[in-house]
Amino acid sequence: MGIFSYDFMRNAFIASTFIALTTGVVGVFVSARGMSFLAHTLSEIGFAGAAFGVFLGIPPLDGMLAFTAVSSVAVGRLSARASRREESISAVSSLFIGLGILFLSLSNQSSSYATTILFGSIIGISSQDVVQLIGLAIFVLVTVVIGYRWLAFDSFDSIGAKAQGLNTRLVSVYFLIILAVSVSIGAQIVGSLLVFILLTLPPSVAKYLGRTLPQMMLISVAAALIGVWVGLILGYLTNWPVTFFIATIEFIFYFLALGYHNLHN
């Protein structure tokens, strides 16, 4: 297939495979913890971080990692009380979008650069980026495996976890850092505006179809993988934005799964 004769397409495929693995696994916990909205906010914070990176002249991914890691813990603490979760997340996200716009404007970059950060780009991924991305993805997956028992218990039954003496606050911070890194990774292909697609839709599909945690993770990763792979191929063939195809595919999966769930319950 001619598609793999281009370096950038090979890079994009490798990168998106690791992105789908990471977001598919982490997303299952995002969905169980009811943190979809927070994932969305972190994407916007990631945009500000990338813009800050551009402004400083460091790689946007590094700027993203710094911003999402620091702010995820801050947002997590601000929104510890469920009653004010939504408003505190909205407040933080407005500030960060504002900052992102400021940094982009200060850095004198053209608006096409903003488009790349917000909506993603498959052409811009170098082999070096791919190596860094794989390293981060492995970091996230290993961290999930190490903390698996606590993450699973606290995410799927926080009251029970607390009753058994688990330090659920600590687990929360642990997870927020995992989430921050996953957002930064995911944004590399689909863009920061839409990275939450990969963190929320495949796990929702898994939630409707799976009944055990391993099943859910497999389904979620599969839905994410099919989305990014087919999205890349269709993007290559049509020259339309890959993000559009990924969003559409995940949307279709979500509604099929929801329909299946409603039929069987």
Give dist(CA 98, CA 109) in Å, integer. Answer: 16
Cα 88 to the center of its chain, rounded Å: 20
Q: Which is nearer to another protein, 139 or 150 (CB)?
A: 150
Q: Does 222 participate in binding another protein (rule CB under 8 A)?
A: no
Q: Does 205 participate in binding another protein (rule CB under 8 A)?
A: no
In the chain the first and final C-alpha atoms are separated, in Å, by: 43
Give the x/- contact pattern for another protein in 162-201, rule: CB under 8 A: xxxx------------------------------------
Q: Does 214 participate in binding another protein (rule CB under 8 A)?
A: yes
Q: Does 37 participate in binding another protein (rule CB under 8 A)?
A: no
Q: Does 263 participate in binding another protein (rule CB under 8 A)?
A: no
Three-state secondary structure string covering 175-197: HHHHHHHHHHHHHHHHCCCCHHH
Q: How far is the CB of 24 from another protein (least distance, A)?
A: 14
**φ and ψ at residue 121, rounded to 5 degrees:** -155, 140
Name which position in 210, 227, 231, 235 contacts another protein (CB under 8 A): 210
Distance of CA 52 to CAs 8, 66, 93, 213, 251, Å?
A: 25, 10, 15, 37, 31
Q: How far is the CB of 102 from another protein (least distance, A)?
A: 40
Name which position in 42, 133, 217, 257 contacts another protein (CB under 8 A): 217
Is 211:156 a contact under the CB 8 Å cutoff?
A: no
Distance of CA 140 to CAs 108, 115, 133, 181, Å?
A: 34, 27, 11, 7
Give dist(CA 120, CA 205) in Å, integer. Answer: 23
Q: Which is nearer to another protein, 210 or 231 (CB)?
A: 210
Name which position in 119, 153, 229, 244 contacts another protein (CB under 8 A): 153
Segment contacting another protein by CB under 8 A, of 87-95, 114-122, 208-216, 222-230: 208-216
Q: Which is nearer to another protein, 2 or 165 (CB)?
A: 165
Is 190:243 a contact under the CB 8 Å cutoff?
A: yes
Q: Which is nearer to another protein, 109 or 158 (CB)?
A: 158
Instruction: Summarize as ranges the residues that interact with another protein (CB under 8 A).
Output: 32, 145, 148-149, 152-153, 156-157, 159-165, 206-208, 210-214, 216-217, 261, 265
